[in-house]
A = this chain, B = another copy of it.
Amino acid sequence: MKFAVFGAGRIGRMHAENLAKRPDAKLVYVVDTKPDAAKGLAEPLGARQADAQKVFSDRSIDAVLIASSTGSHADLSIAAAKAGKAIFCEKPVDLTLEKTDLCIREVEKAGAPMFVGFNRRFDPSFRALKRRLDKGEAGTIEQVIITNRDPGLPDLRFLATSGGLFLDFTIHDFDMARWLLGEEPVEVFAWGAVLVDPRVKTEANDIDTAMILMRTESGRLCHINNTRRAVYGYDQRIEVFGAKGMLRAENVAPTTVERYDASGGAADSPYPNFQTRYAPAYAAELDAFIAAVQKGERPEVGPRDGRAALLLAEAAMQSHRTGKPVSLRRTGSRRAGP
């Protein structure tokens, strides 16, 4: 499969490098609003800089990987669909429901396969946990607890344009919750706080800490906790409790080395950031996308999943703003889900 990558930033680079290592894929073009950045990424990997026009008109290109700025995801996806390309789009599809819905309509009308990059579903530990849940190892699911803590505050300028904690960061947890609960959440309650750095409020009008509860129609409960700064690393854990027991996935550390000295026993820290922790997940989601396209199957995670997570994030924002739980029963439960 021949690929063009949109976006030569941090995520675009990672995907481009993953493509370059694969025997079953070929990176042909890199597109970026800064052509030099595109060129700098493309050439050492044996690819070329190009513009979108070139990509969409080159019939040899099978697929696009969209890792450009969030605001361009939907438009590029629609254009790619119309050009007959398979689409791998970083999350989120868009920060608004309207544009997301437009994208879904157009992509589905064009019949293009579209994958949305909720990479955590492809983390080896989380995926093994999910497989074991599906085999019934925990019995009927009753509680899901998701811990998602960033190692350190991002640049405040980034935060100011990110869409806010729920849309930019918790969006992953909303997707994981849907995936793990086995039922759509129908009610959301969220509290945010600014505990890490007051400038998150004053300069980015955002929050840096949150706790969320969600429940499903049958009463299953889910808790999510977030912070933008965990000094011990990138804290990524899930716990699922059910009638037959509990499955949990603890943090992943680079090594199994333990030190025991006069001050106690110490294990290795968790991986320090998403690039290291989720490196295998980023590779595995490409596997899944390529396999689905080659087999002509609908990708495992699509834009309707992106939409459903967006709905939950919007509900959390509203709950945080109003101080009340938000029901998705009318607007959400019927329309959410792929």
Contact = CB atoms under 8 A, between A and B. Distances in A.
Contact of A137 (B230, B253, B259): B259
Interface string A229-255: 111110100000101111111111111
Interface stretch (A98-106, A157-165, A211-219, A304-312): A211-219
Of residues A45, A193, A241, A260, which shows the largest number of chain B Cβ atoms within 10 Å of its Cβ? A260
A296 interface: no
Main secondary structure of the interface of A (DSSP, over half): mixed
Interface residues of A, number: 74
A232 B323 contact: no
Contact of A232 (B44, B132, B227, B262): B262
A219 B225 contact: no
Contacts of A213: 189, 191, 211, 213
A82 interface: no
A145 interface: yes
A38 to B, nearest CB: 18
Given A189-B191, A231-B261, A248-B258, 14 more contacts: A138-B259, A149-B241, A195-B220, A209-B219, A223-B223, A231-B243, A244-B261, A245-B259, A247-B257, A247-B258, A264-B266, A264-B268, A266-B266, A324-B325
